[in-house]
């Protein structure tokens, strides 16, 4: 669990949100990670996989928003040769590739309505059917990543209620950076240490003015934006301590 412990240690404000995440990682139950873009949802999913009982198995991530609706079932569940025009061979799909490991469903709110019953069966019964093939067991741990408005999508009929409740058997909400201002000094230090190690250069001093500016800024891009700002400052440094621009 060292990786998850390190995440909490570098961000004291995450302690409440991630309380019990070690037990969740060890479980086989579906896990739902909710938060804004850039809050570290994918990183947490990767750490959960490493801390699970399946670390030697594959970690397969599927960005559901990037899959065209007409190809969705084939890309996720796979297909057999001849299942449709142009299916010249067998395709395992993301579920098939994730056997024995973890399947991360990123932007799960983007699942087409017509595919949601098959996803519900995968999550609730761990069974799936490739297009043109027979139903089979799915030896996968499901970790879903969703937007903060999932319940609103259920209310307006964009996401099946039964699917939502199966996805959130275990759930964690990652707060946006604007709700974790007390974490900024620790986060800046951790991100700078990582960036400087990659760039093979010493960690710079961060001025009080820079930290004050960072604590007042809303960070709409969250941790991803903070990291980009720090990396840009390292590549195009000002004279003296690291300063905001």
Q: Please determine, for residue 244, whether its predicted confidence score (pLDDT) is greater than 50.
A: no
Q: How many CB atoms lie within 10 A of CB 28?
A: 12
pLDDT tens figures, 32-62: 999 999 988 998 999 999 999 999 999 999 9
> How many residues in total does the chain contain?
245
Residue 3 confidence class, pLDDT cut points 50, 70, 90? very low
Single out the residue of 240, 180, 160, 165 nearest to residue 205, CA to CA: 240
Q: Please determine, for residue 245, whether its predicted confidence score (pLDDT) is greater than 50.
A: no
Residue with structure tokens 């999932």?
150
Residue 90 confidence class, pLDDT cut points 50, 70, 90? confident
197: its two tokens: 């190690």
How far is Cα 38 from Cα 236, in angstroms, rounded to an integer? 23
pLDDT tens figures, 104-156: 999 999 999 999 999 999 999 999 999 888 999 999 999 999 999 999 999 99
| DSSP, residue by residue, the chain | -HHHHHHHHH-GGGTTTTTTHHHHHH--S-EEEEE-TTSSHHHHHHHHHHTSS-TTS-EEEEEGGGS-GGGHHHHHH-B-TTSSTT--S-B-HHHHHTTTEEEEEETGGG--GGGHHHHHHHHHH-EE--BTS--EE--EEEEEEE-TTHHHHHHTTSS-HHHHHHHTSEEEEEPPGGG-GGGHHHHHHHHHHHHHHHHT-PPPPB-HHHHHHHHHS--TTHHHHHHHHHHHHHHSPPSSSB---
């Amino acid at each position: 669990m060292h990786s998850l412990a390190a995440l909490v240690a570098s961000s004291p404000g995450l302690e409440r949100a991630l309380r019990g995440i070690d037990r969740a990682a060890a479980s086989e139950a579906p896990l739902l990670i909710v938060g804004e873009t850039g809050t570290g949802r994918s990183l947490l999913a990767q750490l959960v996989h490493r801390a699970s009982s399946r670390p030697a198995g594959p970690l397969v991530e599927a960005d559901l928003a990037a899959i065209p609706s007409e190809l969705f079932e084939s890309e996720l569940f796979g297909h057999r040769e001849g299942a449709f025009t142009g299916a010249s061979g067998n395709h395992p799909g993301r579920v098939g590739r994730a056997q024995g490991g973890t399947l991360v469903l990123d932007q799960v709110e983007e699942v087409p309505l017509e595919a949601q019953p098959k996803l519900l069966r995968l999550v609730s019964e761990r069974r799936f059917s490739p297009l043109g093939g027979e139903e089979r067991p799915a030896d996968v741990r499901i970790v879903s990543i969703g937007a903060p408005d999932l319940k609103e999508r259920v209310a307006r009929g964009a996401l099946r209620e039964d699917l939502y409740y199966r996805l959130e058997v275990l759930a964690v909400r990652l707060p946006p950076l604007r709700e974790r201002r007390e974490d900024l000094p620790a986060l800046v230090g951790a991100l700078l240490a990582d960036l400087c190690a990659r760039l093979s250069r010493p960690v710079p001093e961060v001025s009080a003015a820079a930290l004050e500016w960072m604590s007042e800024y809303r960070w709409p891009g969250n941790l991803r934006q903070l990291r980009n700002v720090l990396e840009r400052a390292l590549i195009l440094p000002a004279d003296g301590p690291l300063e905001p621009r």
